[in-house]
Amino acid sequence: MEPTPLLIFDDGLGDFGPLTDLRPAFALRNGVVNNRRRIETSLGQMAAALVVSDALVEILRQRETDAVVNPTSIEQLPASLMTKAEGGPWESSVRAERCALLCVNGRWTGHDDASREHIAALEPGQAVVTADGGTVAVLLGPDDADAVLSQPLHNGLNATTQSATSCDAALLARPWDLLDQLDATLGHDLCHTDLPRCDTPPPGVTVIGEHPLRLHPTATLLPQVVIDTTLGPVALDAGAHVLPFCVIEGPAYLGRNAELAAHTALRSTTAVGDGGKLGGEVKASIVGDFTNKAHHGYLGNAIVGDWCNLGAGTTVSNLKNTYGEVRAKLDADREAEATGRQFQGPIVGDFVRTAIGTLLPTGACVGTGSCLVSSAFVPKHVPAMTFLTDAGPRPMDPEAFFATARRMMGRRDTALSDAEQSRLQSLMH
C-alpha cells in the first residue's frame, strides 16, 4: 500500500505580522529549514498538497511546484499517492477505494518526537491536539476528505474528528514564538542535517567545543576564523564564505552562498538564509534569504525577512532599559501585546531597506517593503510600503519600489513573479 498522502495547511489562526505577507506560516524559516520541510522529514514523506489563504494561493503555486496548492478534491492529488483500487490500478473515479488523507497543521514545528509518534498512530477520524485544543493533525477517512477540502480547511476538520489525543506540542502563533523555539528547532535541524562533519578544520581555523562543525565541501573558511561549538553545532551550507577574523558561536547555521564579512561576530542561536551578506554582530536571530547587513551594527533577537538591506550602522535594541517584558505592535489598528520575552529585537518584513545609522527600538515591527531614512529612532510600528523620513511617513511610490526591487533581484539573477508583484501591489497604501 502506498503511504497516506500528506497535506500541510496554514489554518490562519496565527498572527505573524509582516512575516506572512508573502508566505504561509509553514514557510517561515525557523532553523536550517522551515516547518514544512521539518514536518516532511519528521513524517518521512513529502507533502502532496498545501492549503493556504486565498491571498497566497498563486504565489505558492508558482513557488511550490512539487505539491498541489489548495485542492478542492482528493482526486486532484497525484495518483501515485493513492491506494490501488481492488483488482486493478487506481482510478480517480473510484471513490470507495481512495486512501485516507493526513492533514497536518503547518504551525507545528515538527521537531518533537512525542507528537510525531501520536500522529503516526492516528486512525481515520482521529486527531492530535494541543493542551488548549489547537489542531496539530487529523487523519481524514476517504469519505470525509472531499467534504473537508471543498471548504476552508479549519472549518471542517473538527467536524470529522471522532476522538482526539492531547500532546505537549505548542503551535506557533506569533513571531516571537519562532525565537522562543529556535534553540530547539535549530538544534534539531543541525543534528539531522546531511552536511558532512568536518573533524579537521581548514588551515588557520580554530575550532573549540565538543559539538560538531558541519561543512559543505564548497563552503570556505579563511584563516583566523574561530568556531565555538561549546553550546551547539555550527553548519555552513554550499558556497558559504567566511572571511578572516570572524567568530561563529553554535548553534548556528549559515545558508547557501551566504557570506560573513571580516570581523563579524555570529553569536549563538542564529539561522541565516541563503545568499545574504552579514557584518557586525548578529545574535539569536533569524535572517531571511538574500538579506544584507554587510557592515557594522548590532542585530539581536530579531527576525528579518527576505530581500532586505540594512545600511551601515543600522542597530537595534533588544532589551528595555527597565529590563522588563518587551511589547510589540504587529498591526497599526491594535494595541501592543506582551511577548513574554525580556530580549526581543525587531520583526522586519521582506524588502525592507534602512539608511546608514538607522536605529530600531525594542520589539519594533517594520512592514513589508518599507524604506527607513530617519535620524531618530524608528517608530515601534511602521506600516507596509511606507517611506519614512525625518519629515514623517508617506506611502511608498509603486514605480520607485518595483524599479528598486528589479535592480536588487537582478543582481542575483532572479525576479519577482507576477503573483508576488500583485501581492506587493495590494499592500500599498
> Is 68 within the bounds of a domain?
yes
3-state secondary structure labels for all residues of the chain: CCCCCEEEECCCCCCCHHHHCCCCHHHCECCCCEHHHHHHHHHCCCCCEEECCHHHHHHHHHHCCCCEECCCCHHHCCHHHCCCCCCCCCCCCCHHHCCCEEEEECCCCCCCHHHHHHHHCCCCCEEEEECCCCEEEEEECHHHHHHHHCCCHHHHHHHHCCEEEEECCCCCCCHHHHHHCHHHHHHHHHHHCCCCECCCCCCCCEEECCCCEEECCCCEECCCCEEECCCCCEEECCCCEECCCCEEECCEEECCCCEECCCCEECCCEEECCCCEECCEEECCEECCCCEECCCCEEECCEECCCCEECCCCEECCECCCCCCCEECCCCCCCCEECCCCECCCEECCCCEECCCCEECCCCEECCCCEEECCCCCCCEECCCEEEECCEEEECCHHHHHHHHHHHHHCCCCCCCHHHHHHHHHCCC
How large a percentage of the chain has pLDDT more than 90? Answer: 83
Angle formed by the axes of helices 182-192 and 35-43, to 10°? 50
pLDDT digits (tens, 9 = 90+) for 164-220: 889 998 899 999 999 999 999 999 999 999 999 999 999 999 999 999 999 999 999
State residue 163's pLDDT score: 86
State residue 97's pLDDT score: 45
pTM (two decimals): 0.93
Q: What average pLDDT does this structure show over 128-153?
A: 86
State residue 150's pLDDT score: 80
- The C-alpha atoms of residue 12 and residue 19 are separated, in whole angstroms, by 13
Q: Report whether pLDDT(91) > 70.
A: no
- The C-alpha atoms of residue 188 and residue 82 are separated, in whole angstroms, by 31
pLDDT digits (tens, 9 = 90+) for 326-375: 999 999 888 999 999 999 999 999 999 999 999 999 999 999 999 999 99
Q: What average pLDDT does this structure show over 35-54?
A: 95
State residue 164's pLDDT score: 87
pLDDT digits (tens, 9 = 90+) for 221-259: 999 999 999 999 999 999 999 999 999 999 999 999 999
State residue 183's pLDDT score: 97
Same domain, 77 and 145: yes
Domain carrying residue 312:
196-385
The overall average pLDDT reported for the chain is 92
> Is 303 within the bounds of a domain?
yes
CATH number at 371 reads 2.160.10.10
Q: Report whether pLDDT(87) > 70.
A: no
pLDDT digits (tens, 9 = 90+) for 103-130: 999 999 999 999 999 999 999 999 999 9
Same domain, 23 and 150: yes
> Is 373 within the bounds of a domain?
yes
Q: Report whether pLDDT(83) > 60.
A: no
Q: Tally the domains of the chain.
A: 2
Same domain, 302 and 158: no
State residue 174's pLDDT score: 98
Same domain, 254 and 149: no
State residue 204's pLDDT score: 97
Same domain, 276 and 141: no
Maximum Cα–Cα distance for the chain, whole Å? 74
State residue 249's pLDDT score: 98
State residue 387's pLDDT score: 98
> Is 407 within the bounds of a domain?
no
Q: End of a domain among 385, 409, 424?
A: 385
Same domain, 126 and 239: no
How large a percentage of the chain has pLDDT more than 70? Answer: 93
pLDDT digits (tens, 9 = 90+) for 292-304: 999 999 999 999 9
Q: Report whether pLDDT(131) > 60.
A: yes
Same domain, 377 and 281: yes
Same domain, 232 and 133: no
* pLDDT bracket for residue 81 (50, 70, 90): low
Smallest CA-to-CA distance from 317 within 289, 351, 283 is with 283
Q: Report whether pLDDT(418) > 50.
A: yes
